[in-house]
Amino acid sequence: MASEFPAALNIDGVTIALRVERKAVKNVNARLAEATLQVSIPLRLEHTEALKIIDELARRLLRRQRARAINQAEDATELARRVAARFPKPPEVRQVQFTTVASTCWGSYSPRTQSIRISAALRHMPTWVLEAVMAHELAHTIHPNHSPAFWELLRSVYPDTDRAQAFLAGVTWLARAWDDLPAVERAQLVDEREDQA
């Protein structure tokens, strides 16, 4: 008998096997292990609603899995230590991690938890940009706002700050404008990028 659900899902370019079982359960339960999503769903849950929930769960679990892998592959704490060594008095933080949670900023510092979160997308950018964002967040451990003292400290420990901000402004603009650009202009940008490689 054919399953009412597909054998696999493609989530953001990642194919994961799907195993769905209808059971006498109240809630949808899911577990992602070794590229297989195992899901148990209530017996009476409608097919279209089940597909929607499965897709949402797959995305959430895959995002968590990627976040764990990102933080294992690139030690955010070591990056923070390296950049903190530039400060007159090394800032203290309890936790530093890369995050894949969508956000409008490249990094954040929480004084309450003394933790820094850095966008995982920065790992694919030049090292000096990643370090500049880390320096920015570390500077917030000393100056919680963007006061003149904050900028003076940041520029003294990381002189490439303004250059990194300009780089990130360009990346942000391009990410927002990409779909609105005519195909020929997008192709030019890709061709130029490949020429520089």
CA distance 53 to 144: 40
The tens digit of pLDDT for each residue in 71-125 reads: 554 588 888 998 999 999 989 899 998 887 766 789 999 999 999 999 988 888 8
CATH number for the domain harbouring residue 155: 3.30.2010.10
Instruction: Record the tokens describing residue 144, joined without a space.
Output: 């919680």
User: Do 188 and 112 lie in a common domain?
Assistant: yes
| Residues 40 and 104 placed together within one structural domain of the fold | no
Using alpha carbons only, what angle is made at residue 127 by residues 99 and 93, rounded to the nearest 5 degrees?
A: 50
Say if residue 86 is in the same domain as residue 136.
Answer: yes
Regions in the chain scoring below 50 on pLDDT: 1, 73, 193-195, 197
Q: Are residues 146 and 187 in the same domain?
A: yes
| Same domain as 186, residue 126 | yes
Contact 65, 16 (CB under 8 A): no
Q: Are residues 60 and 133 in the same domain?
A: no
pLDDT of residue 73: 46
- Using a cut of 0.75, tell me whether the model's pTM lies above it: no
Q: Are residues 124 and 183 in the same domain?
A: yes
Show which of 72, 104, 124 is a domain's final residue: 72
- Within-domain flag for 3: no
Does residue 2 lie within any of the structural domains? no
What is the residue range of 125's domain?
76-196
- Contact call for residues 165 and 172 (beta carbons, < 8 A): no
**Based on the domain organization, do 63 and 40 belong to the same domain?**
yes
- Both 146 and 63 in a single domain? no
Same domain, 67 and 87: no
Of 24, 47, 72, which residue sits at a domain end?
Answer: 72
- On whether both 53 and 100 belong to a single domain, the answer is no
Do residues 35 and 109 both lie within one domain? Answer: no
How high is the pLDDT of residue 1?
44
| C-alpha distances out from residue 126 to 115, 130, 168, Å | 23, 7, 11
**Tokens read off for 80:** 């923070």
121 assigned to some structural domain: yes
